[in-house]
């Protein structure tokens, strides 16, 4: 027991503390008090309470009886009675039992009376030479909470409606990038007739957003939902991957493990255990997959952490021919973890903002929501999301839409309803960087059949790959998140076809409500087939190639190495601005500049030709900048194919 244990030590001083009372009364109350302690330690709380009340009726100054009653009230989860007895005991004892001030601060803090908690905690601090880590955390939490309640952040949580929230408990929301599909966990305690079931059942449900709002949630169904419990899941940005928690299963590595399922042709595959090193002999749960699919955060109780539950991360190191990812390089995210519980990580699609829950940092009580920014690979000091987003109740399991404007989270603030899912508009200071997305389909230009292709998104400034989707991961459709402020090059390739390229410039931002959708039609490799090189860039009125062209040039070289039988021709085009001779000369020199770069990359001279055609083959009008821009292009054409 929290206080009673201390009373055993204090009991020897009871006589001296009550020396003003008659010896006979002192002896009687002391005997009764000793008996009350013994009964309490034996688990007979009712008889112990009655004896303590009798003691106070005999001697109202016997403050240890009040502290003991406070302890028993604490055990019985009766905070009002606990507060009453602690205050009476402290009034009578003064500073003779300093821990009483800490216990009073604890219960007031847990009840959300932060100002009331701060005073006794600061007084307790003044009586101690030093504080334990837990005591220091309580003091800092009291101080933080007082400031937070005096400076609330904008917050108006909205219930998405009974299509999602019911009398059962709903929690752990997961969204796709389009924010039009929600997967969550529901804890069923009753059958369809309303009769209570023997063992509560956790299953996944999903709801889709249409013009009328969120549709009635339906079970995700087998093979993901089983007679066992499933929960704490993460959904990939394209909605095709589901990673979730399963406990006590025959194929388990530890008590709870992470499992993977893929949505193929509208159905989910049989879940597989993700295995070691992601799973261990300990407890793994609460996964969070990055929008790129390259990093997986999760929570584990494994050895090597800092606290009870820690946040860890793993990197994607391979993908099987069946499209199943393999994660390794597991590391502890020590910058976020405390000696207590650090939970429910969520990495936003910007790749730089991570939200999580913790009860080991100054907060409003229970688990609070925090955010950290990732700069140059380093996690910055976590920031509490503030009041009233955080309350004395548990807040956890928050996800943020890619726009960065709206967050979804789980809360039990409505105690009569249990845990439910809400969404709210994030204050500006708590938002991640804006992100849009690119949604596309890839098909054969002649037959229209969908093609599973290799899709690479690169940062043209750094020439680094941002996202790669290999053929097993897509069935002719893809979705890629695009953080603002960068110039991207997209490459789509498939064996037997000419590659295609797209330029997505978000240097000047984007309109969040208008994500880009494209349809890519790949031409089979045959003489005369061509593709437009949308990531070849020249200086204005010059044939000088810009550095941003490097990624496209590498792509051209790779294609020629993979297709050694082809002879290719670089064809330069211009708009109609200027004379015919000027444009013909400029287009020729631009085509030659590209060809020279390929020769520098060890392409045989006989395999690469160049030709300028000026403005003789326009694809757009020359009256608008958009049309002129389309006409200023470089093409890559199959000249011939050797047998």
Each domain of the chain, given as residue ranges in start order, spans 4-150, 169-187+198-430, 436-641
Q: What is the pLDDT of residues 371-410, one digit of tens each?
A: 999 999 999 999 999 999 999 988 889 999 998 999 999 8
Cβ-contact 599, 494 below 8 angstroms: no
Say what the pLDDT of residue 512 is: 53
Window from 22-31, 70-79, 145-154, 370-379 with minimum mean pLDDT:
22-31
- Main-chain phi, psi angles of 329, to 5 degrees: 50, 50
Provide CB contacts within 8 A for 532, sequence distance 6+.
501, 633, 634, 635, 636
Instruction: Tell me the DSSP string of 533-591.
Output: -TT--B-TTS-PBPGGGHHHHHHHHHHHHH-TTEEEEEEE---SSS-HHHHHHHHHHHH
Inter-residue contact 336 to 369 (CB < 8 Å) = no
What proportion of the chain, given as a percentage, has pLDDT over 90? Answer: 74
Confidence at residue 382, expressed as pLDDT on a 0 to 100 scale: 97
More confident residue, 42 or 23: 42
Model confidence band, residue 41 (pLDDT cutoffs 50, 70, 90): confident
301, 311 in Cβ contact below 8 A? no
Please report how many Cα atoms fall inside a 13 Å half-sphere around the Cα of residue 635, on the Cβ side: 21
Give the confidence band of 219 by pLDDT, cuts at 50, 70, 90. Answer: very high
Cβ atoms of 510 and 502 within 8 Å: the answer is no
- Between 275-284, 405-414, 436-445, 540-549, the lowest mean confidence (pLDDT) is in 405-414
Q: Report which secondary-structure segment, H or E, holds 20.
A: none
Least Cα distance to 606 among 577, 640, 630 occurs for 640
Cβ contacts of 220 within 8 Å, gap of 6 or more: 183, 203, 204, 205, 206, 268
Burial class (CB in 10 A: 0-12, 13-18, 19+), 615: buried
Q: Return the pLDDT at 17.
A: 46
The partner residues of 638 in beta bridges, in order of sequence, read 568
- 294: its two tokens: 């390259």
Measured CA to CA, the distance from residue 570 to residue 137 in angstroms comes to 67
Local confidence band at 506 (pLDDT 50, 70, 90 cut-offs): confident
Residue 355 main-chain phi, psi, to 5 deg: -105, 145
Q: 236-260 pLDDT, tens per residue?
A: 999 999 999 999 899 999 999 999 9
Query: CA 255, CA 247: separation in Å to the nearest integer?
Result: 6
Do 332 and 347 meet the contact criterion of CB atoms below 8 Å apart? no
Which pLDDT score is estimated for 380? 97
- The long-range contacts involving 51-54, CB below 8 angstroms and separated by at least 24 positions, are none
Residue among 33, 176, 238, 153 at smallest CA distance from 424: 153
Distance from C-alpha of 463 to C-alpha of 486, rounded to nearest angstrom: 12
The yes-or-no verdict on residue 11 having pLDDT over 60 is no
CATH class of 436-641: alpha beta
- Non-local CB neighbours of 604 within 8 Å, separated by 6+ positions: none
CB < 8 Å & 24+ apart, contacts of 360-363: 360/137, 360/307, 361/137, 362/137, 362/140, 362/141, 362/143, 362/144, 362/145, 363/141, 363/144, 363/145, 363/390
Angle between the 23-41 and 63-75 helix axes, to the nearest 10 degrees?
A: 10
**Under CATH, what is the fold of the domain 169-187+198-430?**
Neuraminidase (2.120.10)
First CA to last CA distance, the chain? 87
Instruction: Determine the pLDDT at residue 13.
Output: 44
pLDDT in tens, 308-358: 999 999 999 998 888 889 999 999 999 999 999 999 999 999 999 999 999
> 3-class SS at 48?
helix
Is the pLDDT at 264 greater than 50? The verdict is yes
114-134 confidence digits (pLDDT tens): 999 999 999 999 999 999 999
Element (H, E) at 475: none
- Which ranges constitute the DSSP H helices of 353-428? none
9-42 burial, b at 16+ Cβ within 10 Å, e below that, comes to: ebeeebeebbeebeeeebebbbebbeebbebbee
Range of weakest confidence among 14-28, 277-291, 457-471, 587-601: 14-28
Tens digits of residue pLDDT in 142-185: 999 999 999 999 999 999 989 999 888 899 999 999 999 999 99
What's the token pair of residue 407? 């967050």
Mean pLDDT check: name the lowest of 59-63, 399-403, 447-451, 512-516. Answer: 512-516
Q: In the predicted model, what is the mean pLDDT of residues 192-207?
A: 83
- Helix, strand or coil, per DSSP, at residue 80: helix
Residue 343: both structure tokens together = 């939970």
Order of all β-strands in the sheet with 487-493: 464-469, 454-459, 487-493, 500-505
In the CATH scheme, what is the homologous superfamily, with its name and number, of domain 4-150?
Answer: Tetratricopeptide repeat domain (1.25.40.10)
**CA separation for the pair 389, 424 (Å, rounded):** 9
- On whether the CB atoms of residues 79 and 110 are closer than 8 A, the answer is yes
For the chain, the average pLDDT equals: 91
Average pLDDT over residues 510-526: 82
Distance CA 81, CA 45 (A): 15
Global pTM value? 0.89
For the record, the structure tokens of 510 come out as 């984007």
- The predicted model gives 561-582 an average pLDDT of 95
Tokens 């020359």 sit on residue:
622
């Amino acid at each position: 027991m929290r206080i009673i244990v201390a009373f055993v030590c204090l009991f020897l001083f009871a006589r001296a503390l009550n020396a003003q009372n008659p010896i006979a009364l002192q002896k009687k109350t002391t005997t009764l008090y000793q008996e009350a302690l013994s009964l309490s330690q034996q688990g007979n709380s009712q008889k112990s309470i009655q004896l303590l009340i009798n003691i106070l009726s005999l001697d109202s100054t016997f403050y240890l009886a009040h502290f003991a009653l406070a302890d028993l009230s604490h055990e019985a989860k009766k905070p009002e009675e606990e507060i009453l007895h602690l205050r009476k005991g402290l009034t009578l004892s003064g500073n003779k039992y300093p821990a009483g001030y800490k216990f009073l601060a604890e219960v007031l803090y847990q009840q959300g009376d932060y100002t009331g908690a701060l005073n006794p905690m600061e007084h307790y601090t003044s009586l101690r030479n030093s504080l334990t880590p837990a005591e220091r955390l309580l003091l800092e939490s009291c101080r933080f909470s007082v400031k937070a309640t005096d400076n609330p952040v904008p917050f108006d949580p909205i219930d998405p409606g009974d299509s999602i929230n019911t009398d059962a408990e709903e929690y752990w929301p997961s969204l796709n990038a389009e924010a039009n599909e929600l997967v969550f966990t529901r804890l069923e305690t009753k059958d369809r007739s309303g009769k209570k079931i023997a063992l509560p059942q956790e299953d996944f449900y999903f709801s889709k957003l249409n013009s009328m709002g969120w549709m009635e949630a339906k079970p995700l169904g087998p093979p993901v939902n089983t007679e066992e419990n499933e929960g704490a899941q993460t959904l990939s940005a394209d909605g095709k991957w589901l990673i979730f928690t399963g406990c006590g299963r025959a194929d388990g590595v530890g008590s709870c493990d992470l499992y993977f399922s893929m949505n193929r042709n509208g159905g989910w595959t049989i879940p597989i255990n993700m295995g070691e090193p992601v799973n261990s002999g300990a407890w793994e749960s609460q996964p969070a997959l990055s929008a790129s699919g390259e990093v997986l955060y999760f929570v584990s109780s494994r050895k090597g952490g800092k606290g009870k539950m820690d946040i860890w991360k793993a990197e994607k190191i391979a993908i099987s021919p069946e499209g199943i990812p393999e994660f390794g390089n597991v590391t502890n995210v020590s910058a976020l973890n405390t000696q207590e519980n650090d939970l429910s990580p969520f990495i936003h699609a910007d790749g730089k903002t991570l939200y999580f829950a913790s009860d080991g940092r100054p907060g409003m009580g229970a688990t609070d929501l925090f955010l950290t920014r990732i700069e140059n690979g380093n996690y910055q000091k976590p920031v509490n999301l503030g009041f009233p987003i955080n309350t004395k109740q548990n807040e956890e399991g928050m996800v943020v839409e890619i726009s960065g404007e709206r967050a979804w989270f789980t809360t039990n603030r409505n105690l009569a309803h249990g845990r439910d899912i809400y969404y709210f508009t994030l204050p500006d200071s708590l938002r991640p960087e804006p992100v849009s997305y690119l949604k596309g389909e890839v098909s054969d230009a002649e037959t229209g059949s969908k093609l599973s292709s290799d899709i690479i998104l690169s940062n043209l400034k750094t020439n680094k790959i941002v996202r790669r989707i290999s053929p097993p991961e897509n069935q002719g459709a893809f979705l890629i998140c695009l953080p603002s402020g960068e110039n991207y090059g997209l490459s789509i390739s498939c064996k037997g076809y000419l590659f295609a390229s797209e330029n997505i410039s978000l240097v000047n931002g984007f309109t969040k409500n208008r994500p880009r959708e494209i349809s890519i039609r790949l031409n089979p490799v045959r003489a005369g087939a061509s593709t437009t090189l949308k990531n070849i860039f020249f200086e204005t009125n010059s044939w000088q190639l810009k550095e941003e062209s490097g990624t496209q040039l590498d792509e051209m070289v790779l294609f020629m190495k993979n297709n050694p039988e082809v002879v290719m021709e670089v064809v330069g085009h211009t708009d109609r601005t200027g004379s015919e001779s000027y444009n013909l000369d400029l287009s020729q020199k631009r085509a030659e500049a590209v060809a020279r770069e390929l020769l520098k990359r060890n392409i045989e001279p006989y395999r690469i030709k160049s030709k300028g055609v000026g403005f003789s083959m326009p694809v757009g009008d020359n009256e608008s900048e958009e049309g002129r821009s389309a006409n200023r292009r470089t093409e890559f054409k199959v000249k011939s194919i050797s047998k």
